Amino acid sequence: MVAFALPLPVSADEDAIKLKPGDGLAVVEQNCVACHSLDYVQMNSPFLDRKGWTAEVTKMVKTFGAPVEEADQQKIVEYFTANYGKP
């Protein structure tokens, strides 16, 4: 008898990662999770100030092609800077 081990499906548990409430959270959730998990935010937050978050959002749009409206890009930067920005 031959047994085959099939890999179990793996999925990110996005419900386990909750971002801080604040202005712009809905815009972040609508745009950012389409491409990557929210742990990316928490992982990078100790290193990024306003300039860093601006560069990250710009990179996501220009390099990776994230379909984020220009007005929403600014809201995302404001949210990250206020809630996850380096002091």
Confidence class of residue 6 from pLDDT cuts 50, 70 and 90? Answer: very low
Q: What is the pLDDT of residues 37-50, one digit of tens each?
A: 888 888 888 889 99
Is 57 in contact with 76 (CB distance < 8 Å)?
yes
pLDDT at 87: 76
Residue 29 lies in a domain: yes
Residue 13 lies in a domain: no
Distance, in Å, from the CA atom of 76 to the CA atom of 64, rounded to the nearest integer, reads 16
CA angle 48, 53, 56 (to 5 degrees): 110
pLDDT at 18: 87
Residue 15 lies in a domain: no
Residue 79 lies in a domain: yes
Residue 67 lies in a domain: yes
Q: How many C-beta atoms surround the C-beta of residue 29 within 10 A?
A: 14
Q: What is the pTM of this model?
A: 0.77
Residue 36 lies in a domain: yes
Residue 3 lies in a domain: no
Residue 11 lies in a domain: no
H or E segment and range at residue 61: helix 50-62
Residue 64 belongs to domain spanning: 20-84
| Token representation of residue 34 | 């389409």
The number of distinct structural domains making up the chain is 1
Distance, in Å, from the CA atom of 35 to the CA atom of 21, rounded to the nearest integer, reads 21
